[in-house]
């Protein structure tokens, strides 16, 4: 029974560590794609959608040797071949990192500056029937027209422009369905934004502290890191990770029921020995501690062995790619010491609770048990 109990702890500990490491790998893999379009630091106006990019700001960025890009984005109606969708049109300038372009471009090429070209997400391109360099069927972008007055036609409320898809990118399902890239001047012209204004300053390589940047721009601006820019994605991933942790904690609990049964069987099997220990002068508390320590030993040793097995499996997956998602993509796993400590803490706490219950039972009923 003790062997079965420790085997159960080993298997459940290893399984929990492997699954948490696998989820960490998927999480980091997903966030790696988000980093292609999310700068290290994003400076936006605290009020309004745009602000003036002054010479003072430009001089500060250049003096501090900060790699940055200017951008402006807003919602637009994307229409092609009578298919429509609301998308986020993001205008970027030549400062947008080439590394990001090369990493996410799936088909075609990046748009040329000062041209009516866009780069569309794979999901939107598939759903709307977008083809690259299709001049016969242009894409139409609509934006609300500012101003007041009488409305006689759609031209009085909507401003439109024709564009052509020069490329298709792929990042993740959400971005593929809603994001479209274009030249910043085209986007500002579509939304009637002052040429001197920008929507954000995207800092991709920050050589100085975020506090230094924040202090320069002041309270009129917001400085958001990648986590703050993608709150929804991070919150969703953290919630999923917590749900997985709870599920495998239940599996550990089921495994510890075996340990509980083994300890109770031992109490019944060793009732003669318990009586002898009492006769020799041991107190009920001291006898009950024997089962507490044995349960704790099963939990701790089983957890350590399970973690060693789990670490070995993670190492083998990282080295030899034992499990593949596609023929060219191995299932991503990531060793994180936080997961190691989480499994160790969970198993030891639950194992300690189980051992305490058995120990308390023995302490309260030892005289009755030893007489049987």
* Buried residues in 276-295 as b, exposed as e (16+ CB within 10 A): ebbeeebebeebbbbbbebb
Q: Would you state the pLDDT for residue 72?
A: 97
Residue 287 in this model has a pLDDT that exceeds 90: no
Residue 309 in this model has a pLDDT that exceeds 90: yes
Residue 165 in this model has a pLDDT that exceeds 90: yes
Residue 306 in this model has a pLDDT that exceeds 80: yes
Burial of 271 per CB tally in 10 Å (0-12, 13-18, 19+): middle
DSSP SS3 for 77: strand
Which of the two residues, 211 and 370, has the higher pLDDT score? Answer: 211
Between 57-71, 85-99, 101-115, 135-149, the lowest mean confidence (pLDDT) is in: 135-149
3-state helix, strand, coil in the chain (%, to 5): 55, 20, 25
Rounded to whole angstroms, how far apart are CA atoms 150 and 157?
10
Q: Would you state the pLDDT for residue 369?
A: 54
Q: Would you state the pLDDT for residue 151?
A: 53
First to last CA, the chain: 21
The pLDDT tens digits of the residues spanning 94-114 come to 999 998 999 999 999 999 988
DSSP SS3 for 30: helix
- Taking residue 180's Cβ as centre, other Cβ atoms within 10 Å add up to 26
Which of the two residues, 276 and 313, has the higher pLDDT score? Answer: 313
pTM: 0.81
């Amino acid at each position: 029974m003790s062997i079965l109990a420790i085997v159960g702890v080993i298997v459940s500990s290893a399984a929990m560590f492997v699954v948490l490491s696998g989820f960490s790998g998927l999480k980091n893999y997903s966030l790696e794609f988000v980093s292609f379009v999310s700068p290290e630091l994003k400076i936006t106006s605290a009020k309004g959608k745009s602000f003036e990019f002054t010479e003072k700001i430009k001089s500060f960025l250049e003096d501090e040797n900060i790699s940055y890009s200017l951008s402006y984005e807003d919602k637009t109606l994307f229409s092609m071949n009578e298919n429509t969708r609301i998308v986020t049109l993001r205008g970027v300038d030549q400062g947008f990192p080439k590394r990001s372009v090369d990493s996410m471009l799936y088909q075609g090429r990046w748009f040329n500056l000062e041209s009516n070209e866009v780069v569309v997400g794979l999901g939107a391109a598939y759903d709307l029937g977008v083809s690259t360099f299709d001049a016969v069927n242009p894409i139409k972008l609509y934006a609300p027209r500012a101003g007041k007055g009488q409305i006689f036609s759609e031209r009085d409320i909507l401003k439109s422009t024709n564009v052509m898809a020069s490329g298709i990118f792929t990042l993740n399902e959400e971005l593929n369905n809603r994001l479209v890239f274009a030249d910043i001047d085209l986007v500002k012209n579509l939304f009637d934004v002052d040429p001197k204004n920008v929507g954000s300053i995207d800092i991709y390589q920050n050589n100085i502290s975020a506090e230094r940047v924040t202090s320069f721009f002041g309270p009129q601006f917001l400085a958001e890191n990648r986590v703050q820019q993608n709150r929804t994605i991070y919150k969703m991933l953290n919630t999923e990770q917590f749900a997985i942790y709870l599920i495998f904690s239940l599996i550990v609990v089921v495994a510890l029921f075996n340990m509980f049964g083994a300890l109770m069987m031992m109490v019944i099997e060793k009732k003669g020995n318990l009586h002898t220990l009492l006769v020799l002068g041991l107190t009920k508390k001291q006898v009950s501690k024997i089962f507490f320590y044995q349960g704790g030993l099963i939990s701790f040793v089983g957890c350590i062995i399970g973690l060693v097995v789990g670490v070995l499996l993670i190492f083998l997956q990282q080295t030899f790619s034992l499990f593949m998602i596609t023929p060219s993509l191995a299932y991503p796993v990531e060793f994180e010491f936080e997961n190691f400590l989480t499994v160790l803490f969970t198993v030891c706490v639950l194992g300690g609770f189980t051992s305490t219950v058995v120990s308390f039972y023995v302490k309260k009923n030892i005289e009755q048990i030893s007489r049987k």
